[in-house]
Amino acid sequence: MLDAIVWFFSNIGQAFINTGYAISHPGQWLSWIGGLETTEDKQALMRFVYYGGSTEFFFVVFTTFLIITAIGLWRNSFMWGCVRVLEGFANTVGRFFAWAGLLMVLQQIMIIFMQRIFTVAEISLIFGVDWLTKDVSWWAEELKLYNAMIVSLCATYTFVQGGHVRVDLVYSAISYRAKRSVDMFGALVFMMPAAVLTWMYGWYFLWRHLVTPKVSASDKLELLMKKARILKWNVETIGFSPNGFNAYFLFKILLVAFAGMVFLQSIAFFYRSYLERKEGPESEGKYLDRDSLGEGEEAYEGTH
């Protein structure tokens, strides 16, 4: 037990050193952005992969959360500012990618017309541009990408809007302060750990389909540095059909983005629940930016 406590607080202390080193030595983990020309670039990419799903990175994020929370407890206005920024981010991203639903419908209509009426085998967005000319089956399978965008990038937006379906067993029967306590507990014990686990699995799942040799969560940094000598890009472009959609690596990127956004939203929800509990019922929904269907349509908004 004592060893676990020492390990926990030593990692929090080490987080300050790791953050300072990462900021002062960006080339150690970002030089690969310009290309994998040298061994140093390949090692930088391996460091990026390793630390992106590492204990060190977790404690950097966790320590940052503790510091921001401490400042917010001291100045509630700062915490409200964090809530507005995080919820604004979720709303902005969600409102933008929600248009993928319309794009999906329009593309499906185009596929039906081009395939059933004009009986074409290929569809080109711009005539004469080869990389924008794909088989009809490619465009049909790409519709799944729009679905994935909506699910992954609009999840937190839907959460802010109160649009997720919930099963209420005791929540409606308890007091206002008890509800906020339940929300705080849920954000810390369920929402945040679930996002961390999804990130951990999704991060290495993503990179296993982007580079070779394959990386694993169990790989030590020393082993990854050895693998770096033969590192190269190997982006997954395998489709389910010969002429079908072949950019399934984008789904892995969306999974990581989903986990990151849910983690940020769990922080925003925890802060909001704490502040509403502290300030009382009059602060319920404070600064909450929700979409409206118009006057008289309130019954159809949010979750009911």
| Residue 291, in any domain of the structure | no
Instruction: Provide the mean pLDDT of the chain.
Output: 90
- Whether 33 is covered by a domain: the verdict is yes
Question: For residue 207, what are the domain limits?
Answer: 2-281
**Is 224 a domain residue?**
yes
pLDDT band at 301 (very low <50, low <70, confident <90, very high): low
Structural contact between residues 238 and 246, judged by C-beta atoms closer than 8 angstroms: yes
Confirm whether 132 is domain-assigned. Answer: yes
- Tokens read off for 225: 């540095």
Long-range Cβ contacts of 200-205 (<8 Å, 24+ apart): 200/53, 202/252, 202/255, 202/256, 202/258, 202/259, 203/49, 203/52, 203/53, 203/256, 204/49, 204/53, 205/252, 205/255
State mean pLDDT over 81-91: 97
Q: What is the amino acid identity at position 134?
A: K
Residue 299 lies in a domain: no
Instruction: Note whether 217 and 204 are within 8 A (CB).
Output: yes
pLDDT score for 296 = 55
Q: Is the pLDDT of residue 206 over 60?
A: yes
Report yes or no on 261 lying in a domain: yes
Q: Is residue 293 part of a domain?
A: no
DSSP-derived 3-state class of residue 123:
strand
Residue 290 lies in a domain: no
Question: pTM for this structure?
Answer: 0.91
* 73 CB-near residues (< 8 Å, 6+ apart): 79
Are residues 219 and 283 in contact, defined by beta-carbon separation less than 8 angstroms?
A: no
Residue 295 confidence class, pLDDT cut points 50, 70, 90: low
Please say if the pLDDT value at position 246 is more than 60: yes
Q: Which of 103-107, 166-170, 257-261 has the lowest mean pLDDT?
A: 166-170
Q: Is 247 helix (H, G, I), strand (E, B) or coil?
A: coil
Number of domains in the chain: 1
Of 27, 34, 32, the C-alpha closest to 49 is 32
Q: What is the pLDDT of residues 112-168, one digit of tens each?
A: 888 888 777 777 777 766 767 788 888 888 999 999 999 999 999 999 998 877 777
Residue 103 confidence (pLDDT) = 93
Is the per-residue pLDDT at 255 higher than 70? yes
The vertex-258 CA angle with 91 and 199, nearest 5°, equals 140
Percent of the chain with pLDDT over 70: 95
